[in-house]
């Protein structure tokens, strides 16, 4: 019979542990499972190589305002072809890691299946952190959209419907159907592509109290999936709250964000330090990820540090307005919109 203390190094075989945790993390990232984020092999290939950013030349859509020609039978009259414009979208690499000691992970190691328990813990952590990174990036894109444009980059706030006002007024500043439709209308005739609503739980509770939320059946025929006006709803309390009582609700189309997942040279490792704990010894596990997230029609224009930008709203980082610019000429090519509401009076 085997005796002794179960250690991290006894449980973790990187060739098994890393694919397991990465798969579980994808399955538990709400924006991915909802379809708002879709995998992009181009970003996977970028992460497999070198460089902090990747340029993705993009052929802009045809200008629908170009007037068509009137055909004639005059052989001396020739049409002048229009020239589609080009843009260059840019995505940025995010290299992230964290470490945990054996004491941090003692609950997982005591489980009946310690490998599965540990993989679940790490996957849940990375799913949450990945969604936080995406929310920071989209926050930066909205911040850029709210700023005065340089040239004809965009119309300020043409992706946002803000009804928060200066103070709370029930039925006016809180989440409501009129504001939701106004946010959809920022997409023009492309509004039908919106399929997902991301809400803070406070906004969701407000909508529930007004009987605005309905439920559709899940894969087991149970009414567990919340919807609003036919759009799936996902809850995330890391959604931006600009000030007390003020909340942002975001609308996404299918595939509004593309993502890539890479593998660092050493994605996972365990180190034992015999002298730690006054000679009692300690094991520490490091886990590393490589991500890229891209909103088609936008470009990262910051100067990324090694390891990529942080989630902060400071220079060159993901939530900063100055880190992003719109490349798409037509607002409707970016299937994302935002509602800003005030749900209660500040104390």
Q: What DSSP string runs through 130-195?
A: HHHHHHHHHHHHHHHHHSPPSTTS--TTTTEEE---SS--TTTTS--HHHHHHHHHTTGGGGGGEE
Which of 55-64, 110-119, 206-215 bottoms out in mean pLDDT, i.e. has the lowest? Answer: 55-64
The pLDDT assigned to 86 comes to 67
Alpha carbon distance 285, 8 (integer Å): 7
Distance CA 323, CA 311 (A): 11
pLDDT at 34: 85
Return all residues near 212 (Cβ < 8 A) that are at least 6 apart: 175, 177, 228
pLDDT(209) > 50: yes
pLDDT at 158 over 70: yes
Tell me what the pLDDT averaged over the chain comes to.
89
Alpha-carbon Rg for the chain in angstroms: 24
pLDDT > 90? residue 82? no
pLDDT bracket for residue 147 (50, 70, 90):
very high
Question: What pLDDT, on the 0 to 100 scale, is given for residue 23?
Answer: 92
| Position 286 pLDDT exceeds 90 | yes
Closest-CA residue to 21 (of 135, 108, 112, 132) = 108
Compute the distance between CA of residue 6 and CA of residue 110 in angstroms, rounded to an integer: 8
Q: Provide the pLDDT confidence category of residue 5 given band limits of 50, 70 and 90.
A: low
Q: Give the integer Cα–Cα distance in Å for 136 and 130.
A: 10
How far, in Å, CA of 205 to CA of 211, rounded? 10
What is the per-residue pLDDT for 6?
60
Q: Read off the pLDDT band of 1 (50, 70, 90).
A: very low
Contacts (Cβ under 8 Å, ≥6 apart) of 3: none
**7 neighbors 283 (Cβ within 8 angstroms):** yes
pLDDT in the model for residue 88: 86
Lowest mean pLDDT segment, chosen from 102-111, 178-187, 253-262 = 102-111
What is the model's pLDDT at position 202?
A: 97
Q: What is the mean pLDDT of residues 98-123?
A: 78
Higher pLDDT pick, 96 / 66: 96
Mean pLDDT confidence for 13-17: 85
Q: Which pair of structure tokens corresponds to residue 284? A: 């520490």
Half-sphere exposure of 94 (CA within 13 A, CB side): 27
Residue 206 has φ and ψ, to the nearest 5°, of -60, -45
Q: What is the average per-residue pLDDT within 84-102?
A: 88
- Would you call 325 helix, strand, or coil by DSSP? strand
Range with the lowest mean pLDDT among 72-81, 110-119, 177-186?
A: 110-119
Which one-letter DSSP state was computed for residue 243? B
Place of tokens 């043409």: 158
SS3 state of residue 209: helix
Label the pairing between strands 160-162 and 194-199. unpaired
Lowest average pLDDT, out of 130-134, 148-152, 160-164, 215-219, goes to 148-152
Looking at the DSSP assignment, which residues form a beta bridge with residue 232?
Answer: 196, 227
Question: Is 115's pLDDT higher than 70?
Answer: yes
- Rounded Cα distance between 208 and 58, Å, is 41
Average pLDDT of the residues in 33-39? 91
CA–CA–CA angle 41, 292, 122 (5° rounding): 105
């Amino acid at each position: 019979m085997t005796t002794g203390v179960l250690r991290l190094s006894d449980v973790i075989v990187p060739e098994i542990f890393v694919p397991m945790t990465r798969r579980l993390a994808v399955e538990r990232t709400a924006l991915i499972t909802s379809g708002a984020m879709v995998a992009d092999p181009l970003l996977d290939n970028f992460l497999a190589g070198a460089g902090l950013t990747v340029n993705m030349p993009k052929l802009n859509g045809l200008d629908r305002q170009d007037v068509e020609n009137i055909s004639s039978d005059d052989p001396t009259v020739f049409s002048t072809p229009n020239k589609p414009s080009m843009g260059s979208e840019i995505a940025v690499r995010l290299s992230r890691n964290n470490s945990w000691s054996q004491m941090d992970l003692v609950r997982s190691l005591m489980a009946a299946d310690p490998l599965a328990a540990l993989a679940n813990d790490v996957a849940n952590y990375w799913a949450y952190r990945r969604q936080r990174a995406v929310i920071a990036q989209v926050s930066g894109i909205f911040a850029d959209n709210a700023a005065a444009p340089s040239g004809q980059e965009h119309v300020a706030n043409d992706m946002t419907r803000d009804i928060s006002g200066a103070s709370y007024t029930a039925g006016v500043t809180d989440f409501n159907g009129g504001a939701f439709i106004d946010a959809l209308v920022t997409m023009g005739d492309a509004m039908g592509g919106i399929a997902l609503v991301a809400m803070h739980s406070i906004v969701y509770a407000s909508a529930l109290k007004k009987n605005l939320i309905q439920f559709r059946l899940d894969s087991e025929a149970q009414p567990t999936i919340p919807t609003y006006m036919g759009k799936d709803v996902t809850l995330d309390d890391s959604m931006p709250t600009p000030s007390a009582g003020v909340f942002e609700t975001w609308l996404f189309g299918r595939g509004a964000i593309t993502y890539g997942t890479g593998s660092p040279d050493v994605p996972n490792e365990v180190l034992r330090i015999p002298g730690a704990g006054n000679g009692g010894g300690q094991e520490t596990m490091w886990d590393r990820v490589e991500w890229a997230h891209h909103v088609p029609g936008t470009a990262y224009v910051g100067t990324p540090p090694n390891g990529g930008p942080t989630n902060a709203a400071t220079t060159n980082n993901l939530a900063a307005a100055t880190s992003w610019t719109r490349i798409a000429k037509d607002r409707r090519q970016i299937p994302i919109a935002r509602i800003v509401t005030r749900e209660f009076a500040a104390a």
